Amino acid sequence: MEEKTLRQKLAEVLTDKQVAEQLVLTRELMARYKCAIYEAETKFRVLNEIFSVQNERNPIESIKTRLKSPESIAEKLLRRGLPVTPETIERELHDVAGIRVICSFLDDIYMLADCITGQDDVTLIQTKDYIKNPKENGYRSLHLIIEIPIFLYGETRNMKVEIQLRTITMESWADLEHKLRYKKNLSGDTQAQIARQLADCAELCNVLDRKMLEVKSKVNGAALPADA
């Protein structure tokens, strides 16, 4: 079945004039979310540069950004029975703008989270710690929802950005798990077996992260952090 476009989905619940107006407003909103991504990414790159000078190493291995497509946004809102309007998007959705920060070590995650949320112009909305409390499938990552200002002509707007912080190991596992999870034509028993094996792999990755943190601490002559 051919996938419906955003315009077709809106046309089912709005008049032609309303569709045109909402599309223009949505494009403007998406541009603001893109600016929020730029702002948040810049903050992390500045932190990485400062720590590189102070500690002679970069805590951040890479940064990935993601802007949810208008079609995906519309599907999510319509699935919830909500109107597809800019006001609803800003109020109900926290993951339109996303940044994934890949860290070298486990303790870098919490250090960077404290640094970013401690800045005067950043407001922490929500924290979900899937490192201390992994998902059932073994997924680990620290998720933050922050609100960050973007500076427009004549006004300042606060926009929400979802931040995911994880280690290289967590990122590798999540990427491979995502690819394997969507394999088709598997029996229920096989799917259950694969799910258990993936969870076991996630635990092995966790052991590796903690072992590497121990090695790092010995190299630096420092004790392990209490929350690691």
103-119 pLDDT, tens digit each: 999 999 999 999 999 99
Q: Which amino acid, 140?
A: R
Contact 102, 70 (CB under 8 A): no
Contact 10, 24 (CB under 8 A): no
Contact 174, 153 (CB under 8 A): no
Tell me the backbone φ, ψ of residue 173, rounded to 5 degrees. -65, -45
Q: Report the alpha-carbon distance of residue 223 to residue 107 in Å, rounded.
A: 12
Per residue of the chain (228 residues), what is the pLDDT tens digit?
A: 345 555 565 555 555 445 445 556 678 888 999 999 999 999 999 999 999 998 878 999 999 999 998 778 888 888 888 887 888 899 999 999 999 999 999 999 999 999 999 999 999 999 999 999 999 999 999 999 999 999 888 889 999 999 999 999 999 999 988 887 766 666 667 778 888 898 999 999 999 999 999 998 888 875 555 555
Angle formed by the axes of helices 106-117 and 188-220, to 10°? 80
Structure tokens at 111: 């250090």
